[in-house]
Amino acid sequence: MSLIGFVYNALVDDAPLLIDSLVSSLELRDRSWISSAYDVAECEEKFGNTSLIVVAGGDGTILRTVHSIAPFSIPVVAVNMGRVGFMSELRVQEAEERLPFYLNGSVRVERRMMLRAVVTDSNGNEVLSMDALNDVVVGRVGVAHLLDIDTVVDGEFLTTYRADALVVSTPTGSTGYALSAGGPIFFPEALMMMLQPVAAHTGLRDGLVLPEDTEIILSTGEDKAALVSVDGMEDVELRPGSRVRISRSPHEARFLRSKPRTAFYNELTRRLGLVYNLTPPS
């Protein structure tokens, strides 16, 4: 018998209550497991027998969950209890009524590419290897200086970005930090990645869209303090001589969707608060 996982944001008071209510109303006590997003990695022994995970929280809760389950190709359906909720499918008030459609397999699977970031020190020793659904960011520590970030793309030197930070983004991450830095929005199922500088001072200031099989190597090559951040969850100090190698991850995130792929456009403008009349022109 396959299991249904339920993951919640422990920092949202109503999230555990919502999960408990859903498990009871859907009569899933005997074929489910429940965890907070911070503890979901400890449920790994159950992942092999889990067919679906319901996430109650915001995009951060989804990111934590996906980081743990991506190698197991488990699809997710998310109930938005955050602010914008770009990756969420359901609102709280409709979750109980609509969840059976997802449990019964009457929906499509949306696949989203991920990135893999490998950080090595000056001796070539691996410091960190982690997958990202949103982005990998190399940035400064504090506010007193700019960074010079040497950038190599597929073995060819591209440029040295002089900026506050450099974002390497997936299509999913294009609505996150990269968007606030002036980057374009990608269709979430697209296969590509983007280099987007943050507050560039000189040199290449615009974002650069790259194929999904690109390998990017970043290094600061200076004594100024720098950090690499993966999905805003794991921060590692970059010491002189360190390198960050970014490529497409072998894993992907899977989301269950009941709406057609084209629903992304209305959802995008609604979540950004740009359009209130969704009636198309004649």
Could you tell me the two tokens for 182? 């002036």
Does 59 qualify as catalytic in the annotation?
Answer: yes
| Identified catalytic residue from 14, 30, 39, 59 | 59
- DSSP for 67-116, please give it: HHHGGGT--EEEEE-SSS-TT--EEGGGHHHHHHHHHTT-SEEEEEEEEE
- For residues 39 and 50, the answer to whether their CB atoms sit within 8 Å is no
Beta-carbon count within 10 A of 15 CB:
24
- For residues 188 and 206, the answer to whether their CB atoms sit within 8 Å is no
Could you tell me the two tokens for 141? 């520590």
Could you tell me the two tokens for 74? 């488990």
Residue 122 CB burial class (10 angstroms; 0-12, 13-18, ≥19)? exposed
At residue 30, the 3 state secondary structure works out as: helix
Catalytic residues: 59
